[in-house]
Structure 1
Amino acid sequence: MGFTTFIKSKQFIFSLIGAVVIIGLLVFGSLQFLSIYTRHGKEIKVPDLKKMKVESAMNAVAGNGFEIVIIDTVDYNPDFPSLTISEQDPKADAGVKEGRKIYVKINAKGYSSVRLPNLDGRTLRHATSIIESLGLVKGETKYEPDFAKDVVLRIEQDGRILRAGDKVLKNSKINFILGDGMLGYKPEIDSLGEMYEDVAPKIDSIF
């Protein structure tokens, strides 16, 4: 039987149809398997875990098969209770597959402390930028007699003089004692009246 005759035969046509059907069934079965394996279309919303203790959060997600992973403890944020979840990824209400890991960050127990650098002799502007970079807050400013103006003479907190190396809590206020720039200042005579008052006695003594 020639090739042309064979491809026109019923045997070849039935074989071809059978092969197409088998391939179609294999493709369909593979897609169904992948759909089941990946739980296609079956996403679960992530609960809001913020302000929850880790133990409570674990109990809240246990039914969905989620796993909580603590990745860091962040600086204390007064908007969240101590040692509770302050950040989470994925975020609340995000749609994820069952069994997904939820990464969380824990709010610190309280404000951490920082060591003060030497601020004496620095300008108020420079000293303010330094303490703010450390997480501290500028408090009151008071002036005392000094040759320089707006230069730090000392710093205080709650009436206590602070020195370089002292530890203070973040977010606490630092008060500045500054020079007023008036020490040794002598006003110049700037009016004819003042000049006359100084010269007049000498003129009267001539007559």
Structure 2
Amino acid sequence: MGFTSFIKSKQFFFSLITAVIIMGLLVFGALQFLNIYTRHGKEIAIPDLRKMKVENAMGAVAENGFEIIIIDTVDFNPKYPPLTISDQDPKPNDAVKQGRKIYVKINAKGYSSIRLPNLDGRTLRHATAIIESLGLKKGEVIYEPDFAKDVVMRIEQDGRILRAGDKVLKNSKINLVLGDGMLGYKPEVDTLGEMYEDVAPEIDSIF
């Protein structure tokens, strides 16, 4: 039987139909397997784990097969209790599949300490910007006699003079002692008034 005759035969036609059916069944089976393997349509809302201790959070997600992974300990945030979860990924109420890993960040036990830079001779504006960038707060501004105005003479905290390199806790207040610009200042003299005051007694004495 020639090739042309074969493709026109019923045997070829039935073989082609059988091959198409088999391929269709294989594709259908593969899709069903993928749906089952990926748990298609069976998504679960992530609970809000913030403000929870890690061990408590693990218990809260265990039944859904979630795994908690700690990725970092961040600077202390007063909005969250110490050593509790302050951030999570996926976010609360996100819909995910069972068994998903949840990455969390832990709030530090307390404020960390930093070393002070040298602020002597800085202007009030510049010193304030540096303090705030370090996570500190500007406290009282105290003026003392000095030639320069609004320039830092020293910094203090709780009555203690601080120097460059000293450690202080973040979020604490730093008091700034500034010059008032009045040292060596001499007000202008009213020359005409002084002359009148000097001459006036002599004029009075004539009469």
TM-score of the alignment, normalized to the shorter chain, above 0.5: yes
Aligned pair 1:159/2:155, yes or no? no
Question: Which residue of structure 2 aligns with residue 90 of structure 1?
Answer: 90
Deviations 1:95-116 (A, max 9, x none): 1121111110000000011111
How far does residue 7 in structure 1 lie from its aligned partner after superposition?
Answer: 2.2
Letter matched to residue 39 of structure 1: R
Letter matched to residue 93 of structure 1: N
Residue of structure 2 aligned with 1:196, choices 178, 192, 199: 192
Question: How far apart, CA to CA, are the structure 1 residues paired with 2:149 and 2:92?
Answer: 53
Question: Which residue of structure 2 aligns with residue 77 of structure 1?
Answer: 77
How far does residue 88 in structure 1 lie from its aligned partner after superposition?
Answer: 0.5
Question: Which residue of structure 2 aligns with residue 3 of structure 1?
Answer: 3
Letter matched to residue 116 of structure 1: L
Instruction: Output the TM-score relative to the length of structure 1.
Output: 0.92
Q: Percent identity?
A: 77
Deviations 1:123-171 (A, max 9, x none): 1111111111211001110111111100111111122222222211100
Question: Which residue of structure 1 aligns with residue 39 of structure 2?
Answer: 39
Instruction: Output the TM-score relative to the length of structure 2.
Output: 0.92
Q: CA RMSD in A?
A: 1.7
Question: Which residue of structure 2 aligns with residue 25 of structure 1?
Answer: 25
How far does residue 195 in structure 1 lie from its aligned partner after superposition?
Answer: 2.9
Question: How far apart, CA to CA, are the structure 1 residues paired with 2:165 and 2:118?
Answer: 8
Question: How far apart, CA to CA, are the structure 2 residues paired with 1:118 and 1:30?
Answer: 68
Question: Which residue of structure 2 aligns with residue 132 of structure 1?
Answer: 132
Letter matched to residue 111 of structure 1: Y
Question: How far apart, CA to CA, are the structure 1 residues paired with 2:134 and 2:180?
Answer: 26
The number of residues matched between the two structures is: 203
Higher alpha-carbon deviation: 68-77 or 94-103:
94-103
Deviations 1:36-83 (A, max 9, x none): 111111111111100000000000110011111101100000000000
SS at 2:104 equivalent: strand
1:140-151 equivalence runs, <5 A: 140-151=140-151
Q: Which runs of 4+ in 1 moved over 6 A?
A: none
Question: How far apart, CA to CA, are the structure 2 residues paired with 1:111 and 1:34?
Answer: 49
Letter matched to residue 83 of structure 2: L
SS at 2:29 equivalent: helix
Question: How far apart, CA to CA, are the structure 2 residues paired with 1:132 and 1:21?
Answer: 72
Question: How far apart, CA to CA, are the structure 1 residues paired with 2:165 and 2:27?
Answer: 72
Question: Which residue of structure 2 aligns with residue 105 of structure 1?
Answer: 105
Letter matched to residue 41 of structure 2: G
Question: How far apart, CA to CA, are the structure 1 residues paired with 2:118 and 2:4?
Answer: 98
